[in-house]
Amino acid sequence: MNDAASVKHSDITDKGVTIFTLFTTTGTLICCALPILLVTFGLGATVVAMTSTFPFLITLTQYKIWVFAFSGAMLAISGWLMFRSGRSCPTDVALAKACSTAHKWNKRIYWTSVIIWAIGFTAAYLLLPIRIWLDI
């Protein structure tokens, strides 16, 4: 009984951190990468409409360093929780299957979050310096 309760609490904690990490990395994509990409593709009017409809995007963009730092820290914590040594599933067959399924989905969500964060970071901080360096 104690084994099941600890697995349930651990899975809930890991899943909560993973979902929160996905949410924060998606915020980086929405605040910084999406407007830059839309303007790059000539859709500046869409960005104007987005910022007038959702004015909080301007605030997110003003604090993008903090948004990226916080979401990067969440990615680091989530990665540590998932890939730390000593992590194991219980010996009970049903609990082991549930634990392994949860871990598989946590890894999928985590790597999706890493990709989203990398896209947002590239669009917000790397595209313009690379463009200037290539003289395009």
- Look at residue 57 in the predicted model and tell me its pLDDT: 83
- Look at residue 36 in the predicted model and tell me its pLDDT: 79
- Look at residue 1 in the predicted model and tell me its pLDDT: 46
- Look at residue 4 in the predicted model and tell me its pLDDT: 52
Low-confidence ranges of the chain (pLDDT < 70): 1-14
120-127: list long-range contacts, CB under 8 Å, 24+ apart.
120/25, 120/28, 120/29, 120/31, 120/32, 120/33, 120/68, 121/28, 121/68, 122/33, 123/32, 123/33, 123/36, 123/37, 124/28, 124/32, 124/33, 124/36, 124/64, 124/68, 125/68, 127/36, 127/40
pTM of the model: 0.72
- Look at residue 90 in the predicted model and tell me its pLDDT: 81
CA distances from 40 to 27, 33, 68, 85, 108 (A): 20, 10, 21, 43, 30
